[in-house]
Structure 1
């Protein structure tokens, strides 16, 4: 039934929108900065080593820290919703 595809897409989209702000914080990108001994701290270390000691502006670590500090923007929320909807839809197709 195509209604099952729509349902899984909607559930995936809503789940991604709800989870996105929390996921950034859970891995260590917080309002106060990168949490010690977190996944974010390890990501920052790897990025700094590969960039000769600095973190590239606009890179993954910098972007995730911006999201952790300021929250997730409307555009990022929309993108997360779209990705989640696609994942939900694909989950139903693959089964």
Structure 2
């Protein structure tokens, strides 16, 4: 039982630590959206769908904010919770699969 708690905690910490790296890798950087990146494609699609502008509060806007300023406390909690949940699910699934 203790190892499950440790695994979930490690999953949470790993997800929070990996989030800025992943955001940067897809193009959401501290200096803006990187040209030719996945983020640039997302921004283009969002702008076309919204008549030429990216809507405030949209996924692209939120991810760019996180890429530029880092994760807020609420975002860290959400990412950590998701990491813990995925780690727990994976460890349960791995135990059941021969």
TM-score by structure 2 length? 0.88
- In the alignment, which residue of structure 2 is the partner of 1:22? 21
- In the alignment, which residue of structure 2 is the partner of 1:69? 68
5+ residue gaps in structure 1?
Answer: none
* Alpha carbons 1:5, 1:93 under 8 Å: kept: no
Residues 13-92 of structure 1: pairs in structure 2 closer than 5 A: 13-92=12-91
Higher RCO, Cα 8 Å, sep 6+: 1
Q: How many residues align?
A: 94
SS of the residue 1:55 aligns to: coil
5+ residue gaps in structure 2?
Answer: none
RMSD over aligned CA atoms reads 1.1
Q: Deviations over 1:19-59 (max 9, x none)?
A: 11221111111111100000100100111111121111100
